[in-house]
């Protein structure tokens, strides 16, 4: 086990150092603009390095993950298209079409789909039947774009993905699925070198970004693992409602910002600076404080989800608790400046 961890960590770190030089030569870099306030041109190779590392590991140990060949094909395809998007800015409709096509491959060849939503309403399990195909495609596209949208400050995408993968690994480990939990730990180890470089642990000059290649890879991997853990069998190790809590922050942030954009009459996919991390920074938190705050919130959601799973809190209670948290989240963000002004006024008094 530890030998595998060392191999994956070293492979990921080595790939990052080699790829960052190559990326600068071909112009695969992120440059500052009106929405991006980092310094200098930063190589967009985090996702490519993680993809190479995971594909290499699963090539030599395909038995640790069912349909590992299909999974490798999907993440390599997403990574290639993501890298092209990072370089040439591919239209979002093309990206969504590809994501939908890969979700169909996942359904058809791996049998991964949403068959049931569990007992969300308290009246028995909700079976989806043929509607499950459509909802699965929507879930795949939603998860990919949720993690894509949240990638806005150093360390945030890596931190939130570790919260999700770590929480799911914990549940699977105690539910008799050590092999799948082991794969999730491998993914976490592959992400850690990226986080180190992204946060400047090896110097600001060696900084790298994840890029759309990485955010799409991580989002797809999250939904693949959640479907694998929550669907199929007589008693899956994960109830579908628990998955919502494990990806609460990316999911809520995506849904909330799309609602706000639609209300303004804008495209839900139009980039802006109104994500949760932008708001925290405008409130006076620096990047590190924002990172810690958001990851703490995500961990709190995940811990509550895990607790509900472990003590078997009824699914409908977990679901409506999540909806309540989302509505509260949406109301707070919609009125954040009024709330902030009131707090500052009260504090000054």
Contacts of 224 (CB under 8 A, 6+ apart): 71, 74, 106, 112
CA 144 – CA 271 distance, rounded (Å): 16
How confident is the model at residue 33, as a pLDDT? 53
How confident is the model at residue 283, as a pLDDT? 81
Per residue in 6-19, pLDDT tens? 999 999 999 999 99
Buried b (16+ CB within 10 A) or exposed e, 208-229: bbbbbbbbbbbbbbbbbbbbbb
Contacts by 292-300, CB closer than 8 A, 24 or more apart: 294/156, 294/159, 294/160, 294/249, 295/156, 295/159, 295/160, 295/163, 297/249, 298/159, 298/160, 298/163, 298/164, 298/248, 298/249, 299/163
How confident is the model at residue 236, as a pLDDT? 80
Average the pLDDT over 289-300 and give the result: 96
Nearest to 330 by CA among 250, 272, 253: 253
Per residue in 97-111, pLDDT tens? 999 999 999 999 999
How confident is the model at residue 176, as a pLDDT? 80
Asked if pLDDT for residue 35 goes beyond 60, the answer is: no
How confident is the model at residue 264, as a pLDDT? 83
Asked if pLDDT for residue 247 goes beyond 90, the answer is: yes
Q: From residue 160, give the alpha-carbon distance in Å to each of 81, 92, 154, 167, 179.
A: 23, 23, 12, 11, 22
User: In this structure, how many other beta carbons lie within 10 angstroms of the beta carbon of residue 292?
Assistant: 13
Contact 20, 207 (CB under 8 A): no
pLDDT band for position 349 (50/70/90)?
very low
Asked if pLDDT for residue 235 goes beyond 90, the answer is: no
pLDDT band for position 36 (50/70/90)?
low
CA 123 – CA 147 distance, rounded (Å): 32
In the chain, % of residues over pLDDT 70:
95
Average the pLDDT over 303-322 and give the result: 96
How confident is the model at residue 185, as a pLDDT? 97
Q: From residue 148, give the alpha-carbon distance in Å to each of 108, 155, 210, 281.
A: 25, 13, 10, 19
How confident is the model at residue 39, as a pLDDT? 60
**pLDDT, mean over the chain:** 90
Per residue in 62-81, pLDDT tens? 999 999 999 999 999 999 99
Contact 149, 30 (CB under 8 A): no
More confident residue, 296 or 120: 296
Asked if pLDDT for residue 294 goes beyond 60, the answer is: yes
Average the pLDDT over 314-332 and give the result: 94
Asked if pLDDT for residue 199 goes beyond 50, the answer is: yes
How confident is the model at residue 109, as a pLDDT? 95
Average the pLDDT over 158-177 and give the result: 94
Average the pLDDT over 43-69 and give the result: 95
How confident is the model at residue 274, as a pLDDT? 74
Contact 283, 147 (CB under 8 A): no
Per residue in 154-163, pLDDT tens? 999 999 999 9
Per residue in 176-186, pLDDT tens? 888 999 999 99
pLDDT band for position 40 (50/70/90)?
low
Least confident of 46-50, 326-330, 343-347: 343-347
Asked if pLDDT for residue 267 goes beyond 80, the answer is: no
> Which residue carries 């890969």 as its tokens?
102
């Amino acid at each position: 086990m530890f030998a595998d961890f060392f191999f994956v960590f070293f492979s990921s770190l080595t790939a990052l150092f080699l790829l960052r030089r190559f990326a600068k030569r071909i112009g695969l870099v992120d440059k500052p603009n009106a929405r991006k306030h980092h310094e200098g041109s930063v190589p967009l190779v985090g996702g490519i390095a993680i993809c190479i590392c995971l594909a290499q590991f699963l090539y030599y140990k395909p038995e640790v993950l069912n349909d590992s060949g299909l999974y490798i094909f999907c993440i390599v395809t997403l990574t290639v298209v993501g890298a092209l998007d990072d370089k040439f800015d591919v239209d979002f409709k093309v990206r969504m079409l590809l994501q939908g096509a890969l979700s169909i491959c996942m359904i058809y060849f791996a049998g991964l789909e949403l068959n049931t939503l569990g007992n969300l309403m308290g009246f028995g399990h909700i079976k989806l039947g043929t509607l499950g195909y459509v909802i699965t495609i929507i879930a795949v596209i939603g998860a990919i774009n949720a993690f894509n949208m949240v990638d806005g400050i150093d360390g945030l995408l890596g931190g939130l993905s570790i919260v999700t993968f770590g929480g799911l690994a914990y549940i699977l480990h105690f539910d008799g699925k050590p092999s799948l939990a082991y794969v999730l730990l491998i993914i976490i180890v592959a992400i850690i070198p990226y986080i180190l470089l992204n946060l400047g642990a090896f110097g600001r000059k060696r900084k790298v970004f994840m890029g759309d290649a990485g955010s799409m890879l991580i989002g797809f991997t999250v939904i693949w693992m959640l479907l694998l853990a929550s669907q199929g069998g007589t008693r899956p190790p994960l109830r579908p409602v628990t998955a919502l809590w494990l990806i609460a922050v990316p999911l809520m942030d995506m849904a909330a910002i799309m609602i706000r954009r639609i209300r303004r009459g804008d495209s839900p996919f139009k980039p802006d600076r109104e994500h949760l991390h932008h708001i925290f920074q405008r409130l006076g938190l620096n990047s590190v404080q924002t990172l810690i705050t958001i990851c703490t919130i995500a961990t709190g959601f995940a811990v509550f989800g895990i607790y509900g799973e472990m003590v078997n809190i009824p699914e409908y209670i977990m679901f409506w608790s999540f909806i309540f948290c989302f509505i509260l989240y949406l109301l707070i963000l919609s009125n954040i400046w009024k709330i902030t002004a009131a707090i500052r006024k009260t504090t000054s008094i």
